[in-house]
Chain A
Amino acid sequence: MSDSKNFTCIGCPIGCPLQLTHEGRDILEIEGHQCNRGAKYAQQEFRDPRRFLSTTVAIDGARWKRLPVKVTAPVPKDRVVEAAVEIHRLSVSAPVALGQVLIRDLLGEKGVDVVATRTMQRV
């Protein structure tokens, strides 16, 4: 029994509507793309969809109340909200340097670190 999934390509502003037909884990056909990026995107979205994540954590002793942070590698799409909740438990003190690692292997995902995306001096 084959099944199908729909995606909208994000490769460029055309936003091709993609239809992927599959049987279990096997991809049978990808339709709707006007270039190769569309096919690759549909494949990735089907097999292992991942997203980058940016958010903020509480900081004290700095000019602002929040420090912007990001993950260094994409997390599985279905764990994005869980990842944000975990990051928000953190609270740091100024000074913090751009790129400083605040959490290693977020949610046990190897190589997914949380780093500061700006320098914040102590004021």
Chain B
Amino acid sequence: MLGRMEGRYDVVIVGGGPAGLAAAIGAREGGAGRCLVIDREPEAGGILLQCIHSGFGLHYFKQELTGPEYAERFLLDALEHDVDVVPDSYVCGIGLDSDGEKRVRVLSDHYGLRTVSCRAVVLCMGCRERTRGAIRIPGTRPSGVLTAGLAQKFTNMMGYLPGRRVAILGSGDIGLIMARRLVLEGCEVVGVFELMPYSNGLTRNVVQCLDDFGIPLNLSTTVTEIMGQDRLSGIKVAPVGPGFKPDMSSERTIDCDTLLLSIGLIPENELSQSLGISLDVTTKGPIVNSTLETSLPGVFACGNVLHVHDLVDFVTGEALRAGRHAGEYSRGIRRAQDNIKLVPGDNVRYCLPHSLSTGHEHQIFMRCKEPMKPCEIIVGDIMRKRLSFVVPAEMIMFRIKPDALEHFQGDTLRIDIRPIEK
């Protein structure tokens, strides 16, 4: 289904996945008159369309939906908000006028090459999977080595099985979900191999995707060689010692024709970089203020392009907020500049947003470096919060109320996670 593409909008949204669709709804609610969503795939919905398992929407809809169901609800909601959604189209650049107007260059299957002008842009390009090249696995370069998400699209949408006898490197949730998925499609999954001493996926996925089907999870183990000429014929794996150095004396061969990689996600920020937007070296996403606005005024970011989320429900919440701020911006409403920097401290890998302002409530997203239990989040001298545990795979979220910041005099707020003595 193809929406209109006019010459001028209040807000243009790059990417029609869950973040883009929610940002469009948020922008309309924030007062944007005309709103356009541009998506490069043949239909909006993003990666949700290939995530056919359930587990989405527990926080937002208070019920468990599959990915396609979640996507369809948001697409219909965006259309009801009178948003134009144009698929098969690619944003190849954004120009800036001296008066703050943005000129979005769109290459569209249907409309050809167009320039759309707008007041505000929301970046919702999502993330992409890390590939073999990112971890440099030694060996030959046969077919049969692919990312778990690509295998998911082949299996769930295009109707191709990636192979018959499958090994999986990395225990991220996509890898675990694909292990079960391929067993149900008649493949044999010979094992999941994880470099870390703990799984990077949710416990429920380890139990229901691996344990239920008797698939072994090999922790502190990595792939040391890829073998095969035209097609993958097998892999070698070895346990890792200190410093993740493989112990080659215990190397063993695994017979398989397919290797799926589930080794992490990276925000897709080529467009952001071409605009000169400042990125955070840890999240690999833009640096944003408390309205989720990037270093470029009027350009906002949300969802997995900003930082990789665990749950789509959290993406939705963040994108509704980013969209609302973009909608307000397009109507000329500006908030005073943030006056407090937010910085990560002990056992904090990152925290978002990068700055706060007094007089507002703030939603904080953060991740720890190492598992810890029980522990306490310490926000400068204004707030403490006890947690029974933290793990890197679980995003930590909390709010800072306006009155907590009221008497804060400094210009930098540091967040630490420290253990509590039992």
Residues of A within 8 A of B (CB): 8-10, 12-15, 51-56, 58, 63-66, 68, 70, 77, 80-81, 84, 88, 98, 117-119, 121
Contacts and interface: CB of A to CB of B under 8 A. Distances in A.
A121 B72 CA distance: 13
B54 A14 contact: no
- The 6 A-B pairs with the shortest beta carbon distances in the complex, nearest first, are A65-B159, A15-B203, A118-B68, A10-B204, A68-B52, A84-B184
Contacts of B386: none
A56 B66 contact: no
Contacts of A10: 203-204, 207-208
Given A55-B184, A68-B52, A13 B69 contact: no
Which among B49, B68, B181 has the greatest number of chain A C-beta atoms within 10 A? B68
A81 B185 CA distance: 9
Interface centre among A12, A65, A81, A118 (most CB of B within 10 A): A118
B393 A68 contact: no
Nearest to B371: A13
B157 A65 contact: yes
A55 B212 CA distance: 16
B92 interface: no
B202 A13 contact: yes
Contacts of A9: 203
B208 A13 contact: no
Contacts of B53: 54
A54 B207 contact: no
Given A54-B54, A55-B184, A8 B211 contact: yes
B52 A56 contact: yes
Interface string B205-230: 01110011000000000000000000
A15 B373 CA distance: 13
Given A54-B52, A81-B184, A98 B69 contact: yes
A117 B52 contact: yes
Contact of B157 (A64, A84, A98): A64
Interface string B348-390: 0000000000000000000000000000000000000000110
A8 B203 contact: yes
A66 B158 contact: yes
Interface string B35-71: 0000000110000010011100000000010111101
Contact of A66 (B159, B203, B208, B391): B159
B68 A68 contact: yes
Contacts of A77: 212
Given A51-B212, A66-B156, A81-B184, A118 B49 contact: yes
A54 B158 contact: no
Given A84-B184, A118-B69, 8 more contacts: A8-B211, A10-B208, A13-B203, A13-B389, A56-B159, A66-B156, A80-B212, A118-B49
Contacts of B181: 55
Contacts of B156: 56, 66, 68
Contacts of A66: 155-159
